[in-house]
Structure 1
Amino acid sequence: MPELKSPHLTNIQMWQAWKEQGDIEAKKSLIENYLPLVDFVTNRMAIGLPKNVIKDDLASNGVMGLIDAIEKFDYKRGLQFETYASWRIRGSIIDGLRQGDWVPRSVREKAKRVEDAYQVLEQQYMRSVSDAEVSRYLQITEKEFTVMLQDISVASICSLEDPIREEESETRMSLLVDDKAKKPEQTVHEVYLKESLVKGIDRLTEKERTVVSLFYYEELSLSEIAEVMSLSPSRISQLHSKAILRLRGVLAKHKDQLMQQ
């Protein structure tokens, strides 16, 4: 995480002034204090994106996410704001990318084909399937499958940020952040979702699990992960894409069950 600026008030005093008294200056101070988070998330997400994506646009969307986080965060619950805000910033940046429709339709279609293949095959065999099995299902060579993964690698960054329900803004990964009290039935859905994620992660290969862990929990960039694992950045990108597409299959099944309720 980046080093935050030191305000003239303590962190808790700023939160108290903003939340308890509606002090706009305190809110501005909080925004300024946590702006390095926007730079941190923006720089991390910018790696691997197409050259037509302007970094300043990502940062602008990120600032909106930070402001939203500051407005909604309940400091009294003792949760870590940096973690909560990072997901809000990330979500806001991804919303901006979606609105810009930066992923070509052909790439989205390829991603959906691979996702469907993983979902069908892993449900059929009840295990992690190999590249060869997926290639046969798609009726392409393993070399063509590798190229396809490379093509869709830039699209996989948004995969875990899709809404749980089409009409809602809450995303799959946001469920890992406890930002407010949940209704009992919603809690049941979330418990089942987390169980589904655990099962999905268990089906990943060792290298895929490592990439997911380092990227989403240790917050390393793909290039940093490549260095840690002594693999090429393109190989790490492929592992990340395969892991996300496998998990999407698990989460799609969960989403279908939610929609039926």
Structure 2
Amino acid sequence: MGEGSTLETNVKAIELKDLWRRYKATGDEKARERLVVAYSPLVKYVSGRMASGLPAHVEEADLISYGLVGLISAIERFDLEREIKFETYAITRIKGAIIDELRSLDWVPRSVRARAREIERANSKLEHELQRAPTDEEMAAELGSTVEEFQESLLQISNSSVAALDELWTVSDSSGDQVSLLDTLQDPGAPDPAHVMDITDLKDRVADAIARLPEREKLVVALYYYENLTLREIGEVLGVTESRISQLHTKAVLRLRSRLQGED
């Protein structure tokens, strides 16, 4: 059974190589269509991951539709000579296509965006004054609200967030492609020389910003972005509710955004 499975995998790999050669050499539309079908599970994977952090009214089927646009673009633009796996390149473009479409729909209420910016500014001000991450009580006082109102704001922002750190952790290479820092770190292939210095600098800045997060927020970031656990699964690990994890995640994202934007 194991030998048969290995043989099937090898045959598929050979077929994919042949499809890539045919498409890139001649622009064969049928080869492109077969590549789209072969890699379509990537769209389902990315859409499923993103849907878990979005409001219930956002349909996963719509995300898949947006993601297919990104997959097709990835297939058309991918250079077989690049020292990066196609899957890594494609996932970044699929995420980008979904985020772009959601942005164009402008479905995040302006009041929520404004509140997020207000919290970022308050966090940046207090961190500068206190030389540490402010507590919920200190943030609420700075914002002129109660702790309960501040935490409710975090939940509202969380429900409107779209791949918050993926939007943050990107750089453009010389061809204009968006390359996610997370995908670059996870891929064994070397990044393109044209933007390796940008990635190294961004990696150092993000690592430093994460290191300065409060311990529980740091743990949530590690489990969510590096271990690929959902917010619900993290809540089970830490023994708290999913909504509490959403608050911790949102606080971490807003702290990181205020720090990185403050350094630009």
Which residue number corresponds to residue 6 of structure 2? Answer: none
Change (3 A) 1:153 1:195: same
**Residue ranges of structure 1 left out of the alignment (5+ in a row):** none
Alignment of 1:139-158 (within 5 A): 139-158=144-163
Q: Output the TM-score relative to the length of structure 2.
A: 0.81
CA deviation profile, 1:100-156 (whole Å, cap 9, x unmatched): 111111111111111112222223333222222212211222121111111111233
Change (3 A) 1:120 1:14: farther
Greater shift after overlay, 191-200 or 47-56?
Answer: 47-56
Q: What secondary structure is seen at the aligned counterpart in 2 of 1:75?
A: coil
Q: What amino acid is the match of 2:21?
A: Q
Which residue number corresponds to residue 94 of structure 1? Answer: 99
**2:260 & 2:171 partners in 1: Cα distance?**
9
Greater shift after overlay, 84-93 or 170-179?
Answer: 170-179
**1:94 & 1:122 partners in 2: Cα distance?**
30
CA deviation profile, 1:89-110 (whole Å, cap 9, x unmatched): 1111111111111111111111
Greater shift after overlay, 9-18 or 199-208?
Answer: 9-18
Task: State which structure, 1 or 2, has the greater radius of gyration over its C-alpha atoms.
Answer: 2
Residue 75 (structure 1) shift: 3.3
Greater shift after overlay, 101-110 or 187-196?
Answer: 187-196
**Residue ranges of structure 2 left out of the alignment (5+ in a row):** 1-8
Q: RMSD over aligned Cα, in angstroms?
A: 2.9
For the pair 1:193 / 2:198, whether they are aligned, the reply is: no
Residue 174 (structure 1) shift: 5.2
Residue 17 (structure 1) shift: 2.6
**1:119 & 1:137 partners in 2: Cα distance?**
11
Which residue number corresponds to residue 213 of structure 1? Answer: 222
Residue of 43, 47, 54 corresponding to 2:52: 47
Q: What amino acid is the match of 1:139?
A: G
Total equivalences in the alignment: 247
Percent sequence identity over aligned pairs: 42
Change (3 A) 1:171 1:77: closer
Which residue number corresponds to residue 60 of structure 1? Answer: 65
